[in-house]
Each structure stands twice: as structure tokens, then as C-alpha cells.
Amino acid sequence: MRVVAYRLIDVGELDIAVQLFEDILEMRPEEPQSYRDLATVLAQRWENPGWRLAHPQQADQDISRAMALLHQVVFGRWDQRLSEIEVIALMELNRLMAKVDRLLPEDRLYIVRPELDPRLAGVLDVGLRIVLNWDSDLTDVDLWVTEPTGNHVFFSHPRSAIGGLLSRDFTQGYGPEEYVLKQPIAGKYAVRAKYYGSRQRTLLGPVTVKAVIFTNWAQLDETKRELTLRLDQVNDMADVGQVWIN
């Protein structure tokens, strides 16, 4: 069901994707990814200026719920195999809160902002952020980023000389895995995914991965690109895409 929802997002059918992710959350409330997926699509719908203008009350409710869902991921109690998704969700929550503060007046009736300890609040200064998710539980997919220097950043080499940092290696669950870099140097950043295998017995076949690439994270000139790819065979190393920094 997740892969269908991801495809719907790709073709702009956000209303249907929202309903699918609502259903997923109802079926799998024990998984933090269910909350994060729904938060992500609600936020994406809200970020469309035309949609906000046409549906102001629903838009306010959407962004309030998106922030609440991410807050739940950050502070919820999850299975140990899914730990550290909280760090990624906190980064995304701070981005939404900053964007709401920029775009909307504080007295909007339907906006509900979650409370955060000041030590956890604030947008990180990140010039490049790459996030990889996949659609199958109990599955090990690894994010690999090749920097312009030729250096490979991956699970056993999570830090680079230019400041690249890879999040914890998720060997089970749906991810996400995240690469961040504060000040990207000029050149090409190649994004790849390696499928190591799954502990889940399924008839669904290949694993579908979704990469989201941000530049100038949470800033006014932020850019975002989404890429979806199917991994057919265990030990596949697939080219997901690339981003050029000038």
C-alpha cells in the first residue's frame, strides 16, 4: 500500500495519498513511519500556495496535524530496531514550524503549534539533505552518496572530509536513512541505493525506494526533488539520481 501512496504523490494525487496513509496509520500504529508518512503528505499538500488559498481552514488543520504527527514520532516510544527516526523527524518538525512562522500570522484560528524544549528547537543550517525511504518492513536498504571528491559515504564510512554525515544504518523497518552536509562544495553528488535483503516473507516482490533531495534546507530558496526507483534483486546497487551544486 505504501508504494501505491508514493506513486500517487509522484503524480500529484495528494488527496488520495492522504487517505491511503490514513489507512496505513490505522493498520500500523506501532510503526513511527506510519505517522511520518502521513505528516509528510499533509505538509506537502499544505505547501502548495494554491491549495492553501482554496482551502484555508483545511490547510490550517493539515499543517497542525502534520506537526503533531512528527511531534509524536519524536517523543513516542518505538521498537528499538526503529530508534533514531526521532532525530530525523525532529529536523522535519523544526522545518515545518519555521515555515509556518514565515508564512502565517500567529493568530490563525486553526493552527496548533506543538511545544518544543528550546534545546530541541531551531532549523539546522544544511545546504544539502538527502533522505531515503522504502516500502517494505524488515528490509535492509542502504543509502550511498558519492561526493564530488570521489569519496563514498555509506554505513561503514558515515562521515566525510568535507563534512558529510550519514544517519544510523537501518537494517530493519522502512528507513529512513539521511545524508546531510552543511556547506556543499561545487560538483556532482551521486545518490545510490543498495538492497541487502529482507526478513519479511512477502509476495509483493521488489522493494521500492524513494529518495528526496533538498538543497538549502528550510530556507526561502529551498529546492526539493523526489525520485522513486524499484530494486529487483538482493545486492542490487542502483543509481537513484544525482544533484549538481554550483
Question: 32-91: per-residue pLDDT in tens?
Answer: 999 999 999 999 999 999 999 999 889 999 999 999 999 999 999 887 776 788 999 999
Q: Above 70 in pLDDT, residue 170? A: no
* Mean pLDDT, rounded, for 97-111: 75
C-alpha angle 221/227/48, rounded to 5°?
45
* Mean pLDDT, rounded, for 142-152: 96
Q: What is the pLDDT of residues 42-57, one digit of tens each?
A: 999 999 999 999 998 8
pLDDT band (50, 70, 90) for residue 203? very low
Q: Letter for the amino acid at 226?
A: E
Indicate the average pLDDT of the chain. Answer: 88
pLDDT of residue 45: 96
Q: Above 60 in pLDDT, residue 202? A: no
pLDDT of residue 102: 85
| Cell numbers linked to 17 | 495519498
Specify the range with the lowest mean pLDDT, choosing from 78-87, 100-109, 150-159. 100-109
94 neighbors 118 (Cβ within 8 angstroms):
no
Question: What SS3 class is residue 95?
Answer: helix
Q: Which residues pair with 195 in a beta bridge?
A: 141
pLDDT band (50, 70, 90) for residue 169? low
pLDDT of residue 26: 97
Give whole-number Cα distances, 243 to 40, 190, 239, in Å. Answer: 22, 7, 12
Q: Above 50 in pLDDT, residue 201? A: no
Q: Map out the domains of the chain with their CATH numbers.
A: 2-103 (1.25.40.10), 128-245 (2.60.120)
* Mean pLDDT, rounded, for 205-228: 90
Q: Which residues pair with 208 in a beta bridge?
A: 230
Burial of 28 (0-12, 13-18, 19+ CB in 10 A): middle
Q: What is the pTM of this model?
A: 0.89
pLDDT band (50, 70, 90) for residue 106? low
Nearest to 2, CA basis, from 96, 171, 28, 83: 28
CA distance 188 to 246: 9
Q: Above 50 in pLDDT, residue 235? A: yes
